[in-house]
Amino acid sequence: MSNQSLTITDNRTGKTYTIPIEHGAIRATDLRQIKLSDDDPGLCTYDPGFMNTAACKSRITFIDGDKGILEYRGYPIEQLAEHCTFLEVAYLLYHGELPNRTQLKEWTDQITRHTILHENVKQFIAGFRYDAHPMGMFVGTVAALSTFYPEAKNIHDPAVRRKQYFRLVAKVPTIAAFIYRHNIGMPYAYPDNDLSYTGNFLNMMFKKTELKYKPDPALERALEILFILHADHEQNCSTTAMRSVGSANTDPYSALAAAAAALYGPLHGGANEAVLRMLREIGSKDRIPEYIKRCKAGEVRLMGFGHRVYKNYDPRAKIIKQAADAVFEVTGKNPLIDIAVELERIALEDEYFVKRRLYPNVDFYSGIIYEAMGLPTDLFTVMFAIPRTAGWLTHWEELLQDPDTKIARPKQLYLGSPRREFVPMDQRP
């Protein structure tokens, strides 16, 4: 018997089974042979929230939550954040290797030439109310793009898939900026393809009447770092949504809209927005103990704290804290930062948080940086969705190339009523 195997004894029947172990996992379908009788569907696992279930094999991102390690294609996030641009990291995620100079230029040119939106998309955005939430607009607009590019349905054609990657990665900053300008009543600023990915984003957001917008290099770089940190995070809720919807062979725009909808939730990408609201609600340092008390009583959560995977620290939070200083040198210090720093200090000394291994996550400081840059709070999750688009599409590509891929269809443990006969209306109690 191979030592890479698991032997299970079913105490209901006394039978013993041997199941192979591969990559530290057993196949859930191997448990089906463990049954009480021929018509028993067999044993399955129960795992709400996928706490201990691998739904795919992936070669993109590695996380060791206990050690606080995050790597894209084997490269530590700290090194990528220090040396790369966002598009270079997007190339790495997609191809598995860092680009050489020529490859990066070609990649950047391909993406840059797709930054413009079809003029009808402007009318579509104009249909939203002035106070519509940017994430609702983002989800709707990305889904609507599927109607502009119907060929995207040919998801088994690699060239078609690659083109949609370029379109989506190029257009999401434009969508985000147009949403922002619609909401504040400013005319749209069109992409400037002479600028970098993040420089152009700042241009589309903040250009006023000047002929040529010049992004501040420190803000441009800080945004590159934030985008790199948010580019991928393996099988989180939104990536799982992308993969689940993608497994039905849905076009990438619709699948990405689903992923963005998952990101919208306050337990996921919506947390950066929630952090800012929480800091404003706390309002001053002397009110922090009262808020901590409410957290411990289970009334509220300390937003930006805790992570399903990181139980030591979130390496992204450390890098972001450094990026924040560079931003504040340009923008001046955000008064909320003092509350955040003090909140972090108090929480990290508090037994409740220590015992539960709750540490600041990526969203604890990102919102403060975005606010200092002049972005409205309800745009923060869109700021997360822009770089994550590269991660979602890379997972989608991997999913479609994986021979193991099946349409996502979990089992359930049915605990409802057993079969019974229909009761006519006049006989019901």
Q: Which residues are catalytic?
A: 268, 307, 363
Shortest distance, CB of residue 308 to ligand CMC, whole angstroms?
4
Sheet holding 75-76, edge to edge: 61-64, 69-72, 75-76
What whole-number distance in Å separates Cα of residue 273 and Cα of residue 269? 8
**How many residues does the structure list for the chain?**
429
Shortest distance, CB of residue 18 to ligand CMC, whole angstroms?
33
SS3 assignment, position 152:
helix
* Tokens encoding 80: 């990528």
Residue 203: partners with Cβ closer than 8 Å, 6 or more residues away: 189, 191, 192, 195, 213, 215
Residue number closest to ligand CMC, CB atom: 306
Shortest distance, CB of residue 118 to ligand CMC, whole angstroms?
30
Nearer residue to ligand CMC within complex by CB, 6 or 267: 267
Nearer residue to ligand CMC within complex by CB, 219 or 362: 362
What whole-number distance in Å separates Cα of residue 214 and Cα of residue 209? 12
CA angle 31–32–33, rounded 5-degree value? 90
Nearer residue to ligand CMC within complex by CB, 146 or 238: 238
Buried b (16+ CB within 10 A) or exposed e, 75-97: bebbebbeebbbbbbbbbbbeee
Asked if residue 209 lies in contact with residue 317, where contact means CB atoms within 8 angstroms, the answer is no
Q: Which residues pair with 61 in a beta bridge?
A: 72
Shortest distance, CB of residue 302 to ligand CMC, whole angstroms?
4
Nearer residue to ligand CMC within complex by CB, 182 or 395: 395
Residue pointed to by tokens 């409410």:
294
Shortest distance, CB of residue 211 to ligand CMC, whole angstroms?
39
Phi/psi at 368 (5° precision): -70, -35
Nearer residue to ligand CMC within complex by CB, 220 or 363: 363
- Residue 258 has a CB neighbour count (10 Å cut-off) of 20
Shortest distance, CB of residue 236 to ligand CMC, whole angstroms?
5
Cα 76 to chain centroid distance, Å, stands at 19
Shortest distance, CB of residue 149 to ligand CMC, whole angstroms?
28
* Secondary element (H or E) of residue 72: strand 69-72
Shortest distance, CB of residue 345 to ligand CMC, whole angstroms?
16
Asked if residue 362 lies in contact with residue 208, where contact means CB atoms within 8 angstroms, the answer is no
Asked if residue 237 lies in contact with residue 268, where contact means CB atoms within 8 angstroms, the answer is yes
Asked if residue 384 lies in contact with residue 228, where contact means CB atoms within 8 angstroms, the answer is no
Which residues form the interface with ligand CMC (CB under 6 A)?
236, 267-269, 271, 295, 301-308, 356, 358, 361-363
Nearer residue to ligand CMC within complex by CB, 84 or 302: 302
Q: Which residues pair with 76 in a beta bridge?
A: 71
Nearer residue to ligand CMC within complex by CB, 163 or 268: 268
What whole-number distance in Å separates Cα of residue 283 and Cα of residue 115? 40
Nearer residue to ligand CMC within complex by CB, 114 or 388: 388
Interstrand relation of 69-72 and 75-76 (parallel, antiparallel or unpaired): antiparallel
SS3 assignment, position 6:
strand
CA dihedral 211, 215, 217, 223 (to 10 degrees): -160
